[in-house]
Structure 1
Amino acid sequence: MTVARPQNRPNEYYSSTGPDTPAQYNFNWQVKDDPSGNDGRLQRVTYTVNGNSGYVAEVTYEGEAQFPTYQSSYTPAPRYA
């Protein structure tokens, strides 16, 4: 089998060895925890694979959901007739 390579690319693009330094991966993430007083519950999702059906999610909850009362700060403008 013959493989052609464009002549305008340096050889390092077609090297069979990787770079001298290992790859750097960063998978960090964080949740902004707003201290507004909204309390919630923990939702945990566990995934399993069921044959050819794909991923199956098992969802469980810890704690009780809290729904704070809504207080509007809107005051309508007076209307004059």
Structure 2
Amino acid sequence: MRHKIQQPPPPAGPGYIKDAGAKFSHSSFTHHTASMKTVAVVLAVAAVVSSGPVRLSSYGPLPRYTPTPEYRPADPYYNAPAVYSFDWGVSDGFGNDYGHSEDRDGHSTRGSYFVNLPDGRLQKVAYAVDGDSGFVADFSYVGEAHYPSYRPGPAYRPAPAYGPGPVYGPITTYG
């Protein structure tokens, strides 16, 4: 047995919606909704405007930013050429031996650093920078490189194969 599904009747005419026997004009319904939205927006704006200035804090008036009208150059300290000198080093008796020193006067910088290399040599680097000439480094090494002699490790031997596991007898039950 089949049931026939009834389709709702078509609208009464173009632009009309039939609901509970009353007819509403679609265009007048849209106009009415738009008018209500306009009234709501106008009332919200009026409420905000009539409430006075918005205060972020109850502790007093808001601070005002007043920029200084004149330009003030940086302090002369920042305009002076850099002048410094430092020196540090580490030698702890466990093979750590390294250090760095540098002198700067204006645009001229000279310095050096040294470090023990893993092969037993001491690497020294002296460098200089004069204005825009770039970084010029001179590398030198003290001592002979020593590499440990090759000692082969033990030859590969596969692990022993395991034999069959233990054999268990019948389960004893006590009655």
Regarding TM over 0.5, the answer is no
Query: Normalised by the size of structure 2, how large is the TM-score?
Result: 0.23
Q: Normalization by structure 1: what TM-score?
A: 0.42
Greater share of residues in strand = 2
Rg (Cα) greater in structure: 2
Higher relative contact order, structure no. (Cα contacts within 8 Å, ≥ 6 residues apart): 1
